[in-house]
Amino acid sequence: MAARRHVTNKLRGAYRRASKQDKGRILDEVMTTTGMGRSTARRMLTGPPLPDPAGQVDRRALRARRYSDQARALLERVWALMGMPCGKYLVVMLDLWLPLLEAAGDLDQPYATPAALAELKTMSPATVDRYLAPARAAMQVKGMSTTRPSPLLRNSIAVRKAGDELDGSPGMVEADTVAHCGPTLCGEFARTLTMTDMATGWTECASVRNNASVWIQGAVEALTGQFPFPVTGFDSDNGSEFINHDLAAWLQDRDVAFTCLLAAF
C-alpha cells in the first residue's frame, strides 16, 4: 500500500499533463510497479492525493519522537533507583544522583549511552510522568481484602450504624484484622488483630497465625485484659473470624455487648 501511495502521488501531476499516448505509458509503468489493475491505477492517478498513514492517526498529526528508546529505558532504571519519585522531583535530583549512580556502577547498561544521558537531562517533568505512567501502573500494589462475610448469627448480634453516637465512656472497643500477605493470598502468613477503644483511642494489638476462631478468640481474650478499664462492648465487621459461635459465646459469658456495623451486613 505504501508503494502504491508513493508511486501514484509522484506521478499524479505528470499523468494529468501528459498526452493520451503518454498517459498510457504512465499507466503501464504504475501497473508494472505496483501490481494494480489498469482501472484502479487510473482512478488513483486522477483522484485526490492519498494521505500518509504514518502522519495521521485518529485525525491527529503525529510528531517525530523526540526521545530515543534508550533514553526511555534509562529513565525507568534511574527512576527505580531513585525511589520512584514524581517527575518534578526527579528532574531536580538528576544532577545529584546521576554521578553517584555512575560511580556505583548502577548505570552499566547497554542503553546508558552518553546520548541517552544527555536526552534524560533535557526531559521535562510532564514528559517524565508521561513516559513513566506504564511502569508506575505495573508496580502499583493492588489492594485486597481477606474479609469473608459470615451468614451466622445475623439475627442475634446487635446492628450498629456508622452514625450512631456512643455514650463516650471507655470500654467500647472496635476490632479488625490485617493480613500481612503482600500482593497475594497464597500460602501461610501472619495477621494482626487490632482492638481500639472508641472513646479514648487506646489501642492494643496481637499477632495471630490465621483467622481460625481458636487464634482470634485467644487474642481477643489476651488483649481484653491489657486495657486499663473493663471492656463492655465489642464491635467488628462481618468477617467470619468474628461472627462465629465460639467468640459470641465467650463475649456473652463476660457480659460484653457484641455489635456489628450495619454496612458490614
User: What secondary structure does DSSP assign to 67-104, as a single string?
Assistant: S-HHHHHHHHHHHHHTTS--HHHHHHHHHHHHHHHHHH
Q: What is the pLDDT of residue 90?
A: 94
- CB-based contacts of 237, cutoff 8 Å, min separation 6: 147, 176, 260, 261, 264
Question: Regarding the domain delimited by 158-264, which CATH topology (the fold level of the hierarchy) does it fall under?
Answer: Nucleotidyltransferase; domain 5 (3.30.420)
Q: What is the pLDDT of residue 35?
A: 79
Give the separation between CA 259 and CA 157, rounded to whole angstroms.
6
Beta bridge partners of 205: 194
pLDDT tens over the chain, length 265 residues? 555 666 677 777 788 888 888 888 888 888 887 778 888 888 877 877 666 555 545 555 556 678 899 999 999 999 999 989 999 999 999 999 999 999 999 999 888 999 999 999 999 999 999 999 999 888 765 555 566 555 555 555 665 655 566 677 899 999 999 888 877 777 788 899 999 998 999 999 999 988 888 899 999 999 999 999 999 999 888 788 888 888 888 888 989 888 876 544 3
Q: How far, rounded to the nearest angstrom, does the alpha carbon of residue 76 sit from its chain's CA centroid? A: 16
Give the separation between CA 197 and CA 64, rounded to whole angstroms.
61
Beta bridge partners of 207: 192
Q: What is the pLDDT of residue 265?
A: 39
Q: What is the pLDDT of residue 14?
A: 81
For 169-203, how does the pLDDT look when each residue is reduced to its tens digit (9 = 90+)? 899 999 999 888 877 777 788 899 999 998 999 99
- Parse the chain into domains and list their residue ranges: 2-54, 69-138, 158-264
Q: What is the pLDDT of residue 218?
A: 93
Beta carbons of 179 and 158 less than 8 angstroms apart: no
Beta carbons of 152 and 244 less than 8 angstroms apart: yes
Residue 74, C-alpha cell as written in the block: 534509562
pTM value?
A: 0.44
Q: Please report how many Cα atoms fall inside a 13 Å half-sphere around the Cα of residue 189, on the Cβ side.
A: 14
The DSSP H or E segment spanning 206 is strand 203-208
Give the separation between CA 37 and CA 27, rounded to whole angstroms.
9
Beta carbons of 78 and 131 less than 8 angstroms apart: no
Give the separation between CA 104 and CA 45, rounded to whole angstroms.
62
Residue 90, C-alpha cell as written in the block: 526527579
The single-letter code of the amino acid at 68 is S
